[in-house]
């Protein structure tokens, strides 16, 4: 027959293992939430980056064309039309 001390120790160890399992599960859930946020943030930043490029290459170019003339207007328009899409990095790291 098992002694009461042995059973108490076994029960305490069993509870510790349950706590460890619960903590691991909570961590996995949070990592999943972080991955979702990373994905959503990256998508939103990509959309904003595209809007910024469109604004610079179309709206600003048209506005400058109204204020400039000749070669200066052509150079400004050409420069703005060739601007690349900015790289907006997601601030969520470690994913």
* Residue whose pair of structure tokens reads 């076994």 in the numeric block: 10
Q: Which two tokens stand for residue 24?
A: 């691991």
* pLDDT for the residue 49: 96
Q: Which among 84, 93, 80, 88 has a CA at the least distance from the CA of 47?
A: 88
Average pLDDT over residues 21-47: 96
Whole-number CA gyration radius for the chain: 29
Query: Which tens digit of pLDDT belongs to each residue from 37-81?
Result: 999 999 999 999 999 999 988 888 887 777 778 888 888 888 888
pLDDT tier, 1 (very low <50, low <70, confident <90, very high otherwise): low
Segments making up each domain of the chain, as ranges? 4-81
């Amino acid at each position: 027959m098992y002694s009461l001390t042995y059973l108490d120790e076994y029960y305490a160890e069993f509870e510790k293992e349950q706590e460890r399992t619960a903590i691991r599960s909570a961590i996995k859930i949070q990592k999943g939430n972080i991955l979702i946020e990373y994905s959503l943030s990256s998508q939103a930043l990509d959309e904003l980056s595209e809007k910024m490029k469109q604004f610079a290459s179309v709206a600003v170019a048209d506005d400058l064309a109204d204020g400039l003339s000749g070669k200066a207007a052509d150079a400004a328009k050409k420069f703005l039309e060739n601007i690349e899409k900015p790289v907006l990095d997601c601030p969520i790291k470690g994913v």
